[in-house]
């Protein structure tokens, strides 16, 4: 079962009186539907970190129910998301369940519908019934934007330092309302996850902040890992608001400065900037990111900025 025992179901029911029909349905989910890997926790963690979706799902179950680990809905959602994005149907259902009942997350019917619809389409009768109960239109958000799911991470980010950066980005992404995968892609192409990276143009740290941008967004110590990430994320979301979600322009602005983007009406004709934008868009897989115009309140002074790359002063095709 999703729950380890009926007592857990009763506890949930006492706290969710309006959802008794849904809870009764979900609590009766058979063990055959939840295919967990019965392995030692250390081995399960290793397999999950390597990208095995079944191990990720099983680790999510463990964290959701506190089985062998301290209960952590945040960790449960994180591992369910990884498995779900790889196409594991059981994870689709469990994510829908978490969001429809607010089990460790803020209740969100839109996110719940997104995953339950996928689960129902795959043949899960319980998911179809829950969808009927909550009603509404199809879900448009998956609730996994704050979870790092880029495919290359499991091969290229295996050491503890890199993983700690990923976890920090996941935590801060929720605060800044940015997709963790976008931030990690920017870090990949800005610094290669080198916390001591320093360019000839004076950009420093993981997100290659120049001193002017650091001051602009409240960074006191540009070499402090968290402050550097915060400064880069603050600037990135400011650009997203400034260019109304147009990720191509926002990335060009991050690389070359927003005034250059305004000057050329789009990506400046710099080889470095054009290549930079293409690489991140290809890696991230999207050209639009949600935005909030209130992010502009953090700073409203377009500045020249410096290009974080090495040869951006050369227009494309000239040298």
Same domain, 42 and 166: no
215 is a domain residue: yes
Tell me the Ramachandran region of residue 179: left when phi exceeds 0, alpha when psi lies from -120 to 50, beta otherwise: beta
Q: Is 240 exposed, middle or buried (0-12, 13-18, 19+ CB in 10 A)?
A: buried
Q: Is 81 helix (H, G, I), strand (E, B) or coil?
A: helix
Whole-angstrom distance, CA of residue 140 vs CA of residue 40: 37
Same domain, 116 and 54: yes
Same domain, 129 and 61: yes
Domain that includes residue 68, residue range: 6-134
Same domain, 10 and 108: yes
140 is a domain residue: no
What is the domain count for the chain?
2
- How big is the chain, counted in residues? 319
309 is a domain residue: no
User: Rg of the Cα trace of the chain?
Assistant: 22
What residues does 270 pair with on adjacent strands? Answer: 315
304 is a domain residue: no
pLDDT digits (tens, 9 = 90+) for 47-101: 887 788 999 999 999 999 998 899 999 889 989 998 998 899 999 999 999 999 8
222 is a domain residue: yes
Q: For residue 15, is pLDDT > 50?
A: no
In the chain, the N- to C-terminal Cα span, in Å, equals 64
pLDDT digits (tens, 9 = 90+) for 241-264: 999 999 999 999 999 999 999 999
Q: Is 245 exposed, middle or buried (0-12, 13-18, 19+ CB in 10 A)?
A: middle
**Closest-CA residue to 230 (of 302, 171, 185):** 171
**Which pLDDT does position 290 carry in this prediction?**
92
Same domain, 184 and 260: yes
46 is a domain residue: yes
The beta strands (E) that lie in the chain are given as: none
Active site residues: 190
**Which pLDDT does position 39 carry in this prediction?**
76
Same domain, 130 and 160: no
pTM above 0.85, yes or no: no
| CATH code, domain with 163 | 1.10.530.10
148 is a domain residue: no
């Amino acid at each position: 079962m999703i729950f380890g025992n009926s007592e857990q179901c009763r506890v949930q029911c006492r706290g969710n009186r309006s959802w008794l029909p849904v809870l009764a349905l979900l609590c009766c989910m058979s063990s055959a539907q939840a295919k967990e890997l019965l392995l030692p926790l250390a081995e399960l963690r290793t397999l999950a970190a390597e990208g095995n979706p079944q191990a990720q799902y099983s680790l999510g179950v463990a964290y959701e129910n506190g089985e062998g680990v301290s209960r952590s809905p945040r960790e449960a959602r994180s591992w369910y998301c990884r498995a779900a994005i790889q196409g594991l149907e059981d994870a689709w259902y469990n994510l829908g369940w978490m969001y429809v009942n607010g089990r460790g997350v803020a209740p969100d019917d839109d996110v719940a519908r997104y995953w339950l619809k996928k689960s129902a389409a795959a043949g899960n009768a319980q998911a179809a019934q829950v969808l009927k109960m909550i009603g509404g239109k199809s879900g448009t958000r998956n609730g996994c934007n704050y979870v790092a799911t880029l495919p290359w991470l499991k091969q290229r980010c295996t050491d503890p330092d890199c993983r700690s950066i990923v976890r920090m980005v996941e935590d801060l992404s929720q605060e800044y309302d940015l997709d963790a995968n976008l931030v990690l892609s920017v870090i990949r192409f800005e610094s290669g996850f080198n916390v001591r990276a320093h360019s000839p143009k004076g950009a420093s740290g993981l997100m290659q902040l120049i001193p002017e941008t650091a001051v602009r967004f409240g960074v006191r110590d540009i070499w402090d890992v968290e402050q550097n990430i915060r400064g880069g994320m603050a600037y990135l979301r400011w650009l997203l608001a400034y260019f109304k979600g147009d990720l191509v322009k926002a990335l060009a602005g991050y690389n070359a400065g927003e005034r250059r983007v305004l000057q050329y009406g789009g990506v400046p004709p710099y080889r470095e900037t054009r290549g930079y934008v293409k690489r991140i868009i290809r890696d991230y897989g999207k050209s639009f990111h949600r935005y909030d115009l209130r992010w502009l309140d953090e700073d409203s002074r377009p500045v020249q900025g410096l290009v974080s790359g090495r040869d951006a002063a050369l227009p494309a095709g000239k040298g």
